[in-house]
């Protein structure tokens, strides 16, 4: 991933678009002087094709980066969660671990595949429809494009809510069971084993405490790595979104209305991709911290 | 029967079953280290290094993990390496 490289590419694309728009506006005023609508239409189409070609080259690269980052996030979560769950078991959170592991691993893999396989193609379709609807006034599929974009935002919201809801509810239910079970076991060891019962109970507590420290440290490192994977695409998408909105604002005095709408729509597309990246990374960070906290709250019962 | 019983009692009496208590108490670091080894956390750290090679170039994940255990994470180094990664890439 070359973060700065792609941002510079986008700035170059935007500069090229500005040059094309300036040339088109000169040609437009010339053709208007000649009172020839046909030439004006042809120059508009040529300009539009050039701009769309430039934008799409850039857009495909960015889509690939978003897909790669999501797959990296899912891959890393698939190696982080088993080790966190093992550490949870060593802290005595057996019920929580058994309950959470299948759910969380399923949700992470499902959500990752769902976003790469369904959500990102929907964004692509929405962008394609938006581009098509700005070719001429005859073809209007703007509403369909908006429908897909709104659907993407809604689906993301629902997915995020389901993930956080399921993990937190399951965790809070099972952590109290784990806490009480561990407390009962410790009390039984301390009182039923003669002479060394108390020492044994304390030793178990020390080992569990150390496991908890290890689990928290692993979780924190996991969160830092998740941030490391997601931060570059997020920064890049933010910059690109700003560049396209700025481009639309700069072109407004001279460019055709449809071209401005196209640039604006590309800004919206990058905003949607940014929302996807942010929700996936925030979801995984929340998931990791919840897993850490579930067994920590179980420890409170001791 | 009585003889067998008598022999068994003698055997039980003479089998060395003395337990020596040790004064060496395991420290918290030793326990953490042994758990780290048995749970193979180091391989996870190595795996994690692969994902963030290009962002956290200056940070060793092993060191980061050790600092997380002691609760002294250096946030500044993390911010700096993210900024460096941005700057480094912009120059490319």
pLDDT in tens, A36-57: 777 777 888 888 888 888 888 8
Instruction: Report how far residue A16's alpha carbon sits from residue A10's, in angstroms, rounded to the nearest whole number.
Output: 10
In whole angstroms, give the CA distance from residue A118 to residue A111. Answer: 10
Per-residue model confidence (pLDDT) at position A1? 46
In a domain, B61, yes or no: yes
Tell me whether residues B82 and A228 touch, CB distance under 8 A: yes
Residue in B32, B65, B73 nearest the CB of A210: B32
Q: Which residue of A has its CA nearest to B49?
A: A225
Q: Residue A7's closest chain B neighbor by CA?
A: B90
Q: How far is CA A21 from CA A45, A130, A240, A244, B37, in A?
A: 12, 19, 19, 14, 63
**Confidence category of residue B92, pLDDT binned at 50, 70, 90:** very low
Rounded CA-CA distance A283/A158 in Å is: 12
Say what the pLDDT of residue A234 is: 92
Task: Scan residues 50-89 of B and list those with Cβ closer than 8 Å to A.
Answer: 51-52, 54-56, 61, 64-65, 68-69, 73, 78, 82, 85-89
Pick the residue from chain A with its C-alpha nearest to B68. A217
ipTM above 0.95, yes or no: no
Do the chains contact at A4 and B89, CB–CB below 8 Å?
A: yes
pLDDT digits (tens, 9 = 90+) for A114-129: 999 999 999 999 998 9
User: Does residue B32 form part of some domain?
Assistant: no
What value does the mean pLDDT take over residues A241-257? 87
Q: Is residue B88 part of a domain?
A: yes
pLDDT confidence bin for A137, thresholds 50/70/90: confident
The more confidently predicted of residues A23 and B21 is A23
| Residue A69 and residue A233 in contact, taking contact as beta carbons nearer than 8 Å | yes
Range of lowest pLDDT (A151-155, A164-168, B57-61): B57-61
Helix/strand/coil percent split, chain A, to 5? 90, 0, 10
Q: Report how many domains make up chain B.
A: 1
Residues B30-37: what's their mean pLDDT? 78
Mean pLDDT, residues A219-232 = 91
Q: Is residue B89 domain-resident?
A: yes
- CB contact under 8 Å between A229 and B55, yes or no, is yes
Structural domain including B61 reads: 38-92
Closest by alpha carbon to A222, among A290, A297, A289? A289
Give the mean pLDDT of A20-27. 84
Cα three-residue angle A223-B69-A231, rounded to 5 degrees: 20
Residue B23 maps to a domain: no
Q: Does the pLDDT of residue A246 top 50, yes or no?
A: yes
pTM of the complete model:
0.82
* Other residues' Cβ atoms within 10 Å of the Cβ of residue A61: 14
CB-based burial label for A2 (10 Å; 0-12, 13-18, 19+): middle
Residues of chain B in contact with residue A215, where contact means CB-CB under 8 angstroms, are: none
Contact flag A3-B48 (C-beta cutoff 8 Å)? no
Give the pLDDT band (50/70/90) at residue B16: low
B20: in domain: no
């Amino acid at each position: 991933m070359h973060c700065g490289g792609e941002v510079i590419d986008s700035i170059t694309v935007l500069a090229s678009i500005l040059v094309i728009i300036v040339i088109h506006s000169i040609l437009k005023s010339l053709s208007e002087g000649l009172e020839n609508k046909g030439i004006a239409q042809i120059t508009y189409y040529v300009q539009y094709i050039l701009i769309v070609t430039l934008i799409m080259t850039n857009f495909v690269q960015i889509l690939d980066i978003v897909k790669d980052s999501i797959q990296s996030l899912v891959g890393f979560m698939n190696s982080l969660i088993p080790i966190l769950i093992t550490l949870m078991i060593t802290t005595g959170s057996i019920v929580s671990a058994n309950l959470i592991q299948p759910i969380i691993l399923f949700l992470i893999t499902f959500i990752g595949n769902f976003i790469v396989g369904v959500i990102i193609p929907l964004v692509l379709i929405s962008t394609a429809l938006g581009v098509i609807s700005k070719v001429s006034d005859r073809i209007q599929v703007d509403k369909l494009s908006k429908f897909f974009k709104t659907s993407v935002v809604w689906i993301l919201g629902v997915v995020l809510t389901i993930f956080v809801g399921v993990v937190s509810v399951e965790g809070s239910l099972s952590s109290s069971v784990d806490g009480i079970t561990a407390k009962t076991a410790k009390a039984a060891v301390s009182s039923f084993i003669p002479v060394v019962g108390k020492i044994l109970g304390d030793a178990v507590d020390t080992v569990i405490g150390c496991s908890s420290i290890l689990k928290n440290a692993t979780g924190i490192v996991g969160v830092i790595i998740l941030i490391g994977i997601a931060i570059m695409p997020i920064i890049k998408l933010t910059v690109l979104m700003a560049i396209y909105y700025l481009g639309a604002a700069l072109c407004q005095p001279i460019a055709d209305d449809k071209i401005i709408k196209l640039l604006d729509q590309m800004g919206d597309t990058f905003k949607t991709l940014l929302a996807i990246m942010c929700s996936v990374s925030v979801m995984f960070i929340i998931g990791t911290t919840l897993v850490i906290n579930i067994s920590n709250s179980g420890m409170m019962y001791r | 029967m009585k003889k067998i019983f008598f022999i068994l009692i003698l055997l039980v009496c003479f089998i060395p079953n003395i337990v020596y208590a040790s004064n060496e108490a395991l420290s918290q670091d030793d326990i953490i280290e042994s758990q780290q080894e048995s749970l193979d956390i180091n391989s996870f750290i190595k795996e994690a290094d692969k994902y963030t090679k290009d962002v956290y170039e200056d940070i060793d994940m092993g060191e980061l993990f050790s600092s997380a255990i002691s609760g002294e994470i250096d946030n500044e180094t993390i911010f700096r390496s993210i900024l460096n990664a941005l700057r480094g890439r912009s120059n490319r």
